[in-house]
Amino acid sequence: MFGLFAKAPAARRDYSDCSGCSLCFLVCPMWRDRHDPSFTPEGLAKALQCGATASALAAPLDACSLCGACDPVCPERIDLSGMIMNLRRQLASSAAPSRPAVLDDLRTRLRRDIIAGSAVSRSAPVLLPGSDLRTAPALLARVQALLGLTVVEDDGADISLALEAGVEIPQARLQGFLASLRGHSIVAEDGLLLRQLRRWLPGSQRMGLGAALSSRTALRGKLGASDLYVIEPRAYHADHERMVAYYNRLQIETGCTLSLDLQRIAIPAVAQSLSQRLGLVPGDDPGQANWILQGSKATRIVVETLADRAAFERVSDLPVLHIADLAGSLK
C-alpha cells in the first residue's frame, strides 16, 4: 500500500505563463455550470495578466471548488489551484467591508495553543480523518481497523479550512501541526490538506484515504464491473501522475467504471463554492453528480468521501456505499 506514497513535486509556473489554450475549461466545474470564461482558471490568469486585482475577481474566486482538475491538464504546468488559493489569501487579508463571522471564528481557532498530539510512536502510519469523517464515528472506526492506522487528534481540519478560505495560518500553529507529522507516513481524508502536505513535508510519505482503502485487497476484491467508483478529486489531482496510473490499474483489475472524463481527470461529484463550504449559502447543486451518472449503467455507486455519498443519495436510487463499507462486517 505504501508504495503509493508520493514524492516531492516539480516546480510549477505562475499565471503570467498562461497562453490561453483553454484546456482548463474542459475540466472545470465552474465552466460546466456557467460557460463563462471569467469563471475559469484561464479567465483568472488572463485577468491578472491585464492587471486585475483579487477584489475584482471575487466572484470567480468564491465559485471555485478547488477540485484541482485544472492543474494536471495545464500544458504550461501553471499552479492554477495555488494561484486561486493565493488570490483568496489576498482577498481575505484585504479590508473587506463585511467579513463573515465564520472566518473570524476560524482565525480564533488557529490562534489557540497547539493542540496536544496523541502519543503516537515515531514512524507509525497515521490517519488524518478530517472533519467529515469525524462526524461518522462508526465509519471512522471501520476505516481505522481496515488500515491499521493511528488516528491523530490534530488532523489539521482548521488548517485545511484556512487554506480553502485564504485565512492566514499562524506559523506557530502550522509548525506545531507539521512537527506532529514528521517521521510518520500519512493517510489523509482531506485532499486539499494532502496537496499542501506535499509541499510542506516534501520528504514525507503520504496518500489519500480513497487510494489507501481501495488498495486493500479485502476492499478491492469487492469491486466489480457493475460498480461506478467515484474518486475524491482533490487528492487525485494533487498527485495526478501517479494516481492516474494507480486508478487505471484498479479499473483493469476490477472492471469498475471510474468517475473520470476522457482526459482521465476526476469529475467532482460535489463542487461547492467557498461560500457554500463555509455554510454561508446553501449548496446542494446536483449538476456534477448527475453528469457523472449520465449514461452510466452501473448498479452500485462506491464513493471515497461522505460528501460524495450524500450527493449521490440525493440524485440516485442506486445503492451508494463508502469504500470502507465494502468490507462487510468487521469482527
Partner 1 sequence: MLKIPSVEPGTVGPCPVAHDALQGIKRQQTNPARWNGAGWGGFVTALRAAGVELAEGAVACGVYATDAGGTAYGLPHGVVLARNAEQIAVLLKAAQAHRVPVTVRGGGLTTEGESVAFGGVLLDMAGMSRVLRIDATALTVRTEAGIFWHSLAEELRRENLDYLSAPLNLTSSVGGTLGVGGIDVNSARLGCSADQAVSLQVVTPTGEIVECSDGENAELFQRVILGYGQFGIITEATLRVRPYTPISMHYYYYSSLRTAIEDLQMLDQNDASDYSGILTIMDCAVNLLVAFDSDQREAAFRGNWQARLRGHGEFGFALCMLGHYALRPWKLAEAMYLLRRKREVFPEFHRAEFINDGYMRDRSVVFSRAVWKHWGSRNMVIPDLATTAERLSRRSNAATRCAASISRITRCIASASGCARTIGRITKCPASLRPRKSGRMAVNSSRSSKALYTAAIISRPSRTQFTTSASIWAPVTTASAA
Give residue for cell 469563471: 39
Cell numbers 510519505 correspond to 205
Q: Which is nearer to partner 1, 41 or 129 (CB)?
A: 41
Asked whether the beta carbons of 184 and 207 are under 8 A apart, the reply is no
Report the relative pairing of strands 126-128 and 320-322 from DSSP bridges. Answer: unpaired
Give the residue with the Cβ less far from partner 1, 23 or 102.
Answer: 23
- Binding region for partner 1 (CB under 8 A) out of 1-9, 12-20, 113-121, 146-154: 12-20
Distance CA 263, CA 286 (A): 22
Contact pattern from residue 40 through residue 69 relative to partner 1, giving x for each residue in contact according to CB under 8 A and a dash for the rest:
--xx--xx-xxxx---xx------------
H helices of the chain, where? Answer: 29-34, 41-49, 58-63, 70-73, 80-93, 101-111, 130-134, 137-147, 157-165, 171-181, 191-200, 209-214, 217-220, 233-238, 240-254, 274-277, 287-293, 306-315
What are the phi and psi torsion angles at 171 (to 5°)? Answer: -60, -40
Q: How far is the CB of 87 from partner 1 (least distance, A)?
A: 12
Q: d(Cα 75, Cα 5) in Å, to the nearest integer?
A: 25
CB of 143 to partner 1, least distance (A): 27
State which residue, 184 or 237, has the beta carbon closest to partner 1. 237
CB of 297 to partner 1, least distance (A): 10
* 37 binding partner 1? (CB under 8 A): yes
> Could you say whether residue 38 binds partner 1 (CB under 8 A)?
yes
Using CA atoms in the order 24, 29, 32, 34, what is the torsion angle rounded to 10 degrees?
Answer: -100
Task: Among 35, 111, 182, 314, indicate the residue that binds partner 1 (CB under 8 A).
Answer: 35
Show contacts with partner 1 in window 235-274 (CB under 8 A): 244-245, 248, 261-264
Q: Which amino acid does the sequence have at 121?
A: S
Smallest gap from residue 47 Cβ to partner 1 (A): 5
Backbone φ and ψ for 51, nearest 5 degrees, come out as 95, 15
Question: At its nearest, how many Å lie between partner 1 and the CB of residue 169?
Answer: 28
Question: Is the CB of 56 or the CB of 330 nearer to partner 1?
Answer: 56
Residue 10 CB, shortest distance to partner 1, in Å, is: 14
Per-position DSSP letters for 160-171, written without gaps between them: HHHHHHTPPPPH
Pattern 75-94, binding to partner 1, x per CB under 8 A? xx------------------
Residues 284, 312: Cα–Cα separation, whole Å: 11
Residue 20 binds partner 1 (CB under 8 A): yes
Q: Which three cell numbers stand for residue 298?
A: 452501473
Q: In the complex with partner 1, which residue's Cβ is closer, 42 or 304?
A: 42
Binding site for partner 1 (CB under 8 A): 17, 19-23, 25-26, 35-38, 42-43, 46-47, 49-52, 56-57, 73, 75-76, 244-245, 248, 261-264, 294-296
